[in-house]
């Protein structure tokens, strides 16, 4: 394991990049289920359906996927900088970020259902699913700022 503090003067730059990419990732994770809510209201195979498929694909490919990768990259650099011992808050934060990453994968799978024309979920379902990231973001921010344990 790397010694705590290995980032040196780059620490604040890495932290800034981490926050920037987390913001991009979360923005995408909040908007994609909203896209699905609107998409679920149009007929499969219609011109509108195809437009939503393009929008959703681009959002995932251009914003959400790369942002998650960079958020993880910079976040892990910060975690190694801090060290994992005596940072219980960090362990819980990582578990919550893993859960968010799983949700990200679930969103990608739901998009594939639309592409296949087999979506069975309602607009209401996606509006509720849209709130899931909030359940992780609130405790993550509290853990990072307050470091309660």
Across 52-64, average pLDDT: 98
Across 64-79, average pLDDT: 98
For residue 4, what pLDDT is reported? 61
For residue 1, what pLDDT is reported? 47
pTM as predicted: 0.93
Instruction: Report the 3 state secondary structure along the chain.
Output: CCCCCCCHHHHHHHHHHHHHHHHHHHHHHHHHHHHHHHHCCCCCCCHHHHHHHHHHHHHHHHHHHHHHHHHHHHHHHHHHHHCCCCCHHHHHHHHHHHHHHHHHHHHHHHHHHHHHCCCCCCHHHHHHHCCHHHHHHHHHHHHHHHCCC
pLDDT digits (tens, 9 = 90+) for 6-55: 899 999 999 999 999 999 999 999 999 999 999 999 999 999 999 999 99
18 assigned binding-site residue: yes
Question: In this model, does residue 2 exceed pLDDT 70?
Answer: no
C-alpha–C-alpha distance, residues 85 and 83, integer Å: 6
Asked if 75 contacts 64 with a C-beta cutoff of 8 angstroms, the reply is no
104 assigned binding-site residue: no
pLDDT digits (tens, 9 = 90+) for 84-137: 888 999 999 999 999 999 999 999 999 999 999 999 999 999 999 999 999 999
Report how far apart the first and last C-alpha atoms of the chain are (Å, whole number): 22
């Amino acid at each position: 394991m790397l010694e705590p503090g290995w980032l040196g003067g780059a620490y604040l730059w890495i932290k800034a990049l981490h926050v920037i990419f987390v913001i991009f990732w979360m923005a995408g994770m909040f908007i994609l289920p909203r896209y699905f809510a609107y998409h679920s209201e149009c007929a499969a195979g219609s011109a509108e359906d195809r437009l939503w498929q393009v929008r959703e694909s681009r959002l995932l490919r251009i914003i959400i996927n790369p942002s998650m990768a960079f958020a993880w990259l910079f976040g892990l650099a910060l975690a190694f900088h801090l060290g994992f011992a005596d940072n219980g808050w960090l362990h819980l934060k990582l578990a919550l970020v893993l859960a968010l990453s799983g949700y990200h994968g679930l969103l990608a799978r739901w998009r594939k259902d639309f592409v296949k024309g087999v979506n069975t979920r309602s607009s209401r379902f996606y509006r509720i699913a849209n709130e899931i990231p909030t359940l992780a973001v609130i405790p993550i921010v509290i853990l990072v700022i307050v470091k309660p344990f």
